[in-house]
Chain A
Amino acid sequence: MAFNSGRDSVVPGQLVWVDVHTVMTMDYLGKQCFKAFESLGTDKQLFDKERVICVSDHLVPPPTEQWATMLNEWRAIVKSYDIPNFYDLGRQGIAHQVMVEQGHVLPGKVSIGTDSHANTYGAVGAVGNAIGVTDAAIAMATGKCWFRVPETVKFYIKGTWQPWVMAKDLSLHIMGMMHWNGHLIYKSLEYCGPAIEALDMAGRMTLCNMTVDLGAKNGIIAPDEKTAAYLQPAAKGQWDFIASDDDARYDAVYEVDVTNVGPTVSRPDKLDDVVPVEQVVGTKFNKAFVGTCTNGRTEDFAIMAAILKDKQIHRDVNMICIPASTQVYLECLQKGYIETLVKAGAAFETSSCGPCAGIHTGVAGDGDIVLSAGNRNMKGRMGSKKAQIYLTSPAVVAASAVRGEITDPRTFDV
């Protein structure tokens, strides 16, 4: 924050205008961002058209005439500004996945987006923050965004990851520890320790992604060699390794031994109603969903393919899989995961936010019980208020889908 606002140092609580590296907006709010931007009186001059990233993710492919028309209006306005980084149907992905995999977020820099899961960018050591149309419009004009410097809470994660345990399980475990009772609201969460260093980039993205659901301002992981290797082919711009100061002050420090974290489930309606999988084993469900900016990555489909190879999804379960981006889709295709999963009885959809926000591509109806690897399970989140959503990891979804009831992947014969 200090570096990006031209200061030597900042203190928590201070309000500063920060230089943003990139501004992301997407199909269903994007047109409004451009219109608001145009009303500011800068003669339609974007601060840097290379750094305004436009993505079609919520509404594609359009399920209704109304949304098809809205998408056309969105495309027209993006084209009128000749935006080079426009990820539209065919080259699309969920915006947060696209921002990271295409190198639009970089360590030590601030990127903002008009969707709450912009926290994902912390996986590469960037500050990722969700903003509304107003902030996006102002940043598009000025390259700046105001921030209140947050207090930081450190999560030191030690121990060894157990088989079939994923970053999602740790994320839900922390949700259960901290609840929605204000401890983490407005805070910056820093994940560190040997179990974080051991985590691949997909896991780091899952972990940072869900910090918004903990109420935090952002989540961040210091960049290391894995980050550098991940960014190397795609990074759009220069960056340096950054780390917290040795004498950094934390509002609180929590330590979690991941050795003791098993597969974890959040029960319907309240994200923080979290239990170890053992407590819900045997619960029947009829829909399974793996996708989203939380768990729609190649590594997620890899673990599912390992579990579902030569197996069949239970007749009473409909499973929908949605890769988080076209690039992820292609990787899964090339590695054979899609073939394995389709043979097992999973349906694949083109990349989008899909039913996670209850918009389309498999929304929940009355009486549905959904086992989802998404990020939110409040009543009505995926469609009907009369549906129930259990949240968990892709490994638990895959193992459970075979039996038609929630299953501990550690007890599953792979």
Chain B
Amino acid sequence: MIKGKAWVAKTYVMSFEMIIQQYWTSPIDPVENARWVMAGVDEAFNKENGFKDFGYTFIVAGHNFAGGGKSIEHCITGLMGAGIKAVFATSFARLQFRNAINYGMPFITARDMNLGCDTGDELEYDPESGIIRNLTKATQFESVPVAPFVAEVAAEGGLMSFIRKKIADGSIADLH
């Protein structure tokens, strides 16, 4: 069970605003990327540790979260470093959805949840059942279950560790 405060996106959240251009070429590192993550999304986040210092645990968004292109994984590592434990959205842009899976970061599909939540609401997420409760508003939401592969990668601490282990034990040839 994960509990904490949510930031709710009012509009589309674009990956090139989550990580602004001058940091696209930074090393991919949660601590480093968290310093400026979300800097272009909202003026309030546009300072060092601007987003991180709010102490949010969850993000709630509508359609196409982290859309607008850009292969940068910094969007994901930045959120991880800033303390985000899960993002709930009606839909995710596929490239960052994929990156999130590869880093074991829960990007959870929960339709229209953004319409029933406000920034600052206290949420509680049960990864087992997929139920998200809004404790502030005493409401609850269901989410789309996570695929077994996604859970397996997350349990290994991400796809790099997952593959590294398979290379080391020789089972990499069995990938199918």
Contacts and interface: CB of A to CB of B under 8 A. Distances in A.
Interface of A: 5-6, 15-17, 28-29, 32, 36, 39-42, 70, 114-117, 130-135, 137-138, 141-142, 144, 146, 148, 180-182, 185-186, 212-213, 215-217, 357-359, 376, 378, 380-381
Contact of B71 (A116, A213, A376, A381): A116
Contact of B68 (A32, A39, A376): A376
Contact of A135 (B68, B70, B102, B164): B102
Contacts of B71: 29, 114-116, 130-133
Given A32-B28, A40-B164, 10 more contacts: A5-B176, A41-B164, A134-B73, A135-B98, A180-B67, A182-B91, A212-B69, A376-B69, A380-B16, A380-B40
Interface string B10-35: 00101011000100110110000000
Nearest to A59: B25
B160 interface: yes
A181 B69 contact: no
A15 B162 CA distance: 16
A186 B93 CA distance: 8
A70 B25 contact: yes
A182 B90 contact: yes
Q: List 4 tightest A-B contacts by C-beta distance, closest first.
A: A116-B69, A182-B91, A17-B175, A134-B102
A180 B63 contact: yes
Contact of B24 (A28, A130, A215): A28
A144 B98 contact: no
Interface string B63-95: 110011111110000000000000000111111
Nearest to B160: A134
A390 B40 CA distance: 21
A33 to B, nearest CB: 10
12 contacts: A40-B160, A41-B164, A130-B69, A132-B72, A133-B73, A144-B175, A180-B64, A182-B90, A212-B95, A215-B64, A216-B94, A381-B16
A407 to B, nearest CB: 29
A180 B103 contact: no
Given A15-B149, A36-B160, A185-B94, A134 B103 contact: yes
A42 B70 contact: no
B69 A40 contact: no
A28 B14 CA distance: 20
Nearest to B148: A15
B68 A380 contact: no
Contacts of A29: 71-72
A180 B12 contact: yes
A32 B172 CA distance: 22
Interface in B24-54: 24-25, 27-28, 40
B168 A358 contact: no
Nearest to B111: A182
Contact of B94 (A6, A15, A28, A217): A217
B147 A15 contact: yes
Contacts of B72: 29, 132
Interface string B135-173: 000000000000101000000001110011001100010
Contact of A6 (B25, B64, B92, B176): B176
Contacts of A212: 69, 95
Contact of A137 (B69, B98, B160, B175): B160
Contacts of A141: 163, 167
